[in-house]
């Protein structure tokens, strides 16, 4: 590849590259940051600045950067069989081995996987498979899928429709027969209720909506165990048991979107393990390969698999790269690393308690209304008034101000509105956690000083 200096890279990028979820005019004014290499939990930009990646890329580089084993697994597979498909009665060892490895680590009702290239495709697949299932069950009128406001399930047409982000629906529309209920965001919406009471209330909204739509029309409910891109919304303990009880009562399928929570983020293999969710489907991606190559999948529970496999003929669905051998080989090696190095156990028993103790202490900062966290993920709600939980005006862009201070001080935190998010790799050390929290504190101070001035 040609070697350009930073300015040339930025110019060419501005001329030719449309970025995801980006205001290009603002981007051009500020200039893009060009990331050129990474190791462990650190990134380097094209000017040589070292940055602690508090977001594990985009919630995905769970085993950290620079793992030679993953490079070797890809190289070996590329030499042996760089591509073949799984259509038309063919298969290959990497897809076979990965399907078994996934079944081994998943909750017991999961014995099948359908491979995709991303979380969005996994969620497109689930919409089609849910409706296909009810058709085969002789209930074709069951087409409605209920999701939550502010959920993120991806960017394809079906995935963005499942998502509850109005700004996405406004651009390109939404599939019919997708409904959204309130998210379990206690800090923002709980009012005078205690968290458990609020958890029950938001879960019971599912039953209310099922009754409004009609039980005979509702096919499934989808939720992330912990909402990620919506701002790390951790549901109260009462939420998932009640949701499950309602799904069981009405016989509707339950989809636990594990794209962020899966592969250890909450200190268990899956968010479903953490919350005891017995789902019918688990869309997976991100941590499946620690982001080293694009791969996703849909774990399909026995209830659905029995029908789709035994009662149906073809499921007319698939991608050229479903179960791509190189991506599967890398995902296999990633799972091996997670297992052999006991990375998830260490995240749960050592890193998470250390991180959360320090993170939650940031709740004392005058700018922070709530500090919350679970496993290896956390959020800070930046507010104008801690007592009344009053937010800043959205055009004050407080989250963005804080995010920019972070970047300029060598830390990546994601801003979701005025919530600051962290989701570091699981190979972070205690001293790197200290650095992360110290830098976050410094940037809160800088943001606070800027707002006050
Ligand atoms: N489900 C969930 C829960 C996700 O978080 C997807 C599905 C879609 O996955 P793909 O692989 O198609 O991107 C996601 C993705 C952000 C951000 O800014 C979050 C995601 C993707 C991009 C940006 O927080 N989550």
Which comes out higher in pLDDT, residue 277 or 31? 277
- Residue 21 within any structural domain of the chain: no
* Distance (Å) from CA 119 to ligand 1 centroid: 7
- Residue 441 within any structural domain of the chain: yes
pLDDT, average across residues 383-390: 95
- Residue 137 within any structural domain of the chain: yes
* Distance (Å) from CA 358 to ligand 1 centroid: 27
- Residue 160 within any structural domain of the chain: yes
3-state secondary structure the chain: CCCCCHHHHHHHHHHHCCCCCCCHHHHHHHCCCCEEEEEECEEEECCCCEEEECCHHHHCCCCCECCHHHHHHHHHHHHHCCCCCCCCCCCCHHHHHHHHHHHHHCCCCEEEEEEECCHHHHHHHHHHHHHHHHHHCCCCCCCEEEEECCCCCCCCHHHHHHCCCHHHHCCCCCCCCEEEECCCCHHHHCCCCCHHHHHHHHHHHHHHHHHHHCHHHEEEEEECCCECCCCCECCCCCHHHHHHHHHHHHCCEEEECCCCCCCCCCCCCCHHHHHCCCCCEEEECHHHCCCCCCCEEEEEEHHHHHHHHHCCCCCCCCCCCCCCHHHHHHHHHHHHHHHHCCHHHHHHHHHHHHHHHHHHHHHHCCCEEEEEEECCEEEEEECCECCCCECCCHHHCHHHHHHHHHHHCCEECEEECCEEEECCCCCCCHHHHHHHHHHHHHHHHHHHHHHHC
Q: Are 375 and 425 in contact (CB under 8 A)?
A: no
Q: Are 226 and 271 in contact (CB under 8 A)?
A: yes
- Residue 46 within any structural domain of the chain: yes
Whole-angstrom Cα distance, residue 55 to residue 52?
9
Whole-angstrom Cα distance, residue 371 to residue 379?
6
Q: Which of 306, 340, 374 is the last residue of a domain?
A: 340
Instruction: Report the nearest-CA residue for atom 17 of ligand 1.
Output: 229
Q: Clarify whether residues 40 and 75 are in a common domain.
A: no
Ligand 1 test: best mutation among 119, 165, 290, most atoms within 8 Å of CB?
Answer: 119
pLDDT at 418: 95
Q: Which of 293, 323, 340 is the last residue of a domain?
A: 340
pLDDT digits (tens, 9 = 90+) for 280-306: 999 999 999 999 999 999 999 999 999
Q: Clarify whether residues 314 and 352 are in a common domain.
A: no
Instruction: Specify the CATH number for the domain of residue 309.
Output: 3.40.640.10
* Distance (Å) from CA 366 to ligand 1 centroid: 31
Q: Give CB contacts under 8 A, 24+ apart, made by 131-139.
A: 131/219, 132/308, 132/312, 132/315, 133/219, 133/253, 133/304, 133/307, 133/308, 134/219, 136/307, 136/308, 136/311, 136/312, 137/307, 137/311, 139/216
pLDDT at 312: 79
Name the least confident of 60-69, 72-81, 304-313: 304-313
Atom of ligand 1 nearest to the CA of 121: 12
- Confidence label for 180 from pLDDT (cuts 50, 70 and 90): very high
At 185, list the tokens.
């965001």
Reply yes or no on whether the pLDDT at 63 is more than 90: yes
Q: Clarify whether residues 114 and 194 are in a common domain.
A: yes
Q: Clarify whether residues 240 and 137 are in a common domain.
A: yes
pLDDT digits (tens, 9 = 90+) for 115-131: 999 999 999 999 999 99
- Residue 157 within any structural domain of the chain: yes
> CA-based diameter of the chain, in Å?
67
Atom of ligand 1 nearest to the CA of 229: 24
Q: Which of 340, 358, 379 is the last residue of a domain?
A: 340
pLDDT at 68: 98
* Distance (Å) from CA 159 to ligand 1 centroid: 10
Whole-angstrom Cα distance, residue 142 to residue 219?
5
Nearest partner of 150 among 420, 421, 417, 422, judged by Cα: 417
Reply yes or no on whether the pLDDT at 424 is more than 90: yes
Q: Clarify whether residues 57 and 96 are in a common domain.
A: no
- Residue 367 within any structural domain of the chain: yes
Q: Clarify whether residues 303 and 372 are in a common domain.
A: no
Domain ranges, residue 385: 33-66+342-452
Reply yes or no on whether the pLDDT at 1 is more than 70: no
Mean per-residue pLDDT of the chain: 97
At 150, list the tokens.
């502010």
Q: Clarify whether residues 434 and 290 are in a common domain.
A: no
pLDDT digits (tens, 9 = 90+) for 228-241: 999 999 999 999 99
How many Cα atoms occupy the beta-carbon half-sphere of 425 within 13 Å? 26
* Distance (Å) from CA 136 to ligand 1 centroid: 30
pLDDT, average across residues 167-178: 95
Instruction: Report the nearest-CA residue for atom 15 of ligand 1.
Output: 154
Whole-angstrom Cα distance, residue 335 to residue 158?
29
* Structural Rg of the chain based on CA atoms: 22
Instruction: Report the nearest-CA residue for atom 7 of ligand 1.
Output: 153
Whole-angstrom Cα distance, residue 134 to residue 142?
6
Reply yes or no on whether the pLDDT at 2 is more than 60: no
3-state secondary structure 83-142: CCCCCCCCCCHHHHHHHHHHHHHCCCCEEEEEEECCHHHHHHHHHHHHHHHHHHCCCCCC
Q: Clarify whether residues 366 and 219 are in a common domain.
A: no
User: What's the structural domain count of the chain?
Assistant: 2
Ligand 1 test: best mutation among 55, 58, 116, most atoms within 8 Å of CB?
Answer: 58
pLDDT at 30: 82
Q: What is the pTM of this model?
A: 0.98
- Confidence label for 31 from pLDDT (cuts 50, 70 and 90): confident
Residues with CB under 6 A from ligand 1: 58, 118-120, 123, 152-154, 224, 228-229, 257, 259-260, 285, 296, 414
pLDDT at 442: 98
Q: Clarify whether residues 114 and 49 are in a common domain.
A: no
Instruction: Specify the CATH number for the domain of residue 38.
Output: 3.90.1150.10
- Residue 7 within any structural domain of the chain: no
Q: Are 326 and 82 in contact (CB under 8 A)?
A: yes
Reply yes or no on whether the pLDDT at 3 is more than 90: no
* Distance (Å) from CA 260 to ligand 1 centroid: 7
Q: Clarify whether residues 42 and 74 are in a common domain.
A: no
* Distance (Å) from CA 286 to ligand 1 centroid: 8
Displacement of CA 275 from its chain's centroid (Å):
16
At 99, list the tokens.
């399907």
Which comes out higher in pLDDT, residue 31 or 304? 304
* Distance (Å) from CA 59 to ligand 1 centroid: 8
CA distances from 136 to 25, 300, 313, 354 (A): 49, 16, 10, 49
Name the least confident of 19-23, 356-360, 429-433: 19-23
Q: Clarify whether residues 334 and 354 are in a common domain.
A: no
pLDDT digits (tens, 9 = 90+) for 250-267: 999 999 999 999 999 999
Instruction: Report the nearest-CA residue for atom 1 of ligand 1.
Output: 153
Instruction: Report the nearest-CA residue for atom 23 of ligand 1.
Output: 58
* Distance (Å) from CA 44 to ligand 1 centroid: 23
Q: Clarify whether residues 221 and 102 are in a common domain.
A: yes
- The number of residues in the chain equals 453
């Amino acid at each position: 590849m040609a070697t350009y200096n930073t300015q040339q890279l930025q110019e060419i990028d501005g001329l030719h590259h449309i970025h995801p979820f980006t205001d290009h005019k603002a981007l051009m004014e500020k200039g893009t940051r060009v990331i050129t290499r990474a190791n462990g939990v650190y990134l380097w930009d094209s000017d040589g600045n070292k940055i602690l990646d508090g977001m594990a890329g985009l919630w995905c580089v769970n085993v950290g950067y620079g793992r030679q084993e993953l490079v070797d697994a890809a190289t070996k597979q590329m030499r042996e069989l760089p591509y073949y498909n799984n259509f038309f009665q063919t298969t290959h060892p990497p897809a076979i081995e990965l399907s078994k490895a996934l079944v081994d680590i998943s909750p017991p009702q999961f014995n099948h996987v359908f491979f995709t290239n991303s979380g969005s495709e996994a969620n497109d697949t689930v919409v089609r498979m849910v409706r296909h299932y009810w058709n085969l069950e002789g209930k074709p009128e069951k087409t409605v899928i209920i999701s939550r406001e502010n959920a993120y399930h991806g960017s394809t047409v079906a995935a963005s429709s499942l998502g509850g982000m109005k700004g996405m629906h406004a651009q390109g529309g939404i599939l019919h027969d997708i409904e959204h209920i309130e998210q379990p965001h206690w800090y923002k919406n709980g009012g005078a209720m205690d968290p458990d009471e609020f958890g029950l209330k938001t879960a019971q909204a599912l039953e209310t909506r099922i009754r409004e739509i009609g039980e005979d029309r509702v096919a499934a409910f989808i939720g992330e165990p912990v909402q990620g891109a919506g701002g790390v919304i951790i549901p109260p303990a009462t939420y998932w048991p009640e949701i499950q009880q309602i799904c069981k009562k009405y016989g509707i399928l339950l989809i636990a979107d594990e794209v962020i929570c899966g592969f250890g983020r909450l200190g268990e293999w899956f968010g479903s393990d953490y919350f005891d969710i017995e789902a019918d489907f688990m869309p997976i991606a991100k941590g499946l390969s620690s982001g080293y190559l694009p791969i996703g999948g849909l774990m399909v529970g026995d209830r659905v698999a029995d029908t789709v496999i035994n009662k149906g003929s073809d499921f007319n669905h698939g991608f050229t790269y479903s179960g791509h051998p190189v991506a599967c080989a890398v995902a296999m090696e990633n799972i091996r690393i997670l297992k052999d190095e006991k990375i998830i156990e260490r995240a749960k028993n050592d890193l998470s308690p250390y991180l959360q103790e320090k993170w939650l202490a940031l709740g004392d900062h005058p700018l922070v209304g709530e500090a919350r966290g679970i496993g290896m993920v956390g959020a800070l709600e930046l507010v104008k008034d801690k007592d009344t939980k009053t937010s800043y005006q959205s055009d004050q862009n407080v989250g963005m101000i804080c995010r920019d201070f972070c970047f300029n001080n060598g830390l990546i935190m994601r801003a979701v509105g005025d919530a600051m998010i962290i989701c570091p790799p699981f190979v972070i050390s205690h001293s790197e956690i200290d650095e992360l929290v110290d830098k976050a504190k410094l940037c809160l101070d800088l943001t606070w000083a800027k707002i006050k001035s």
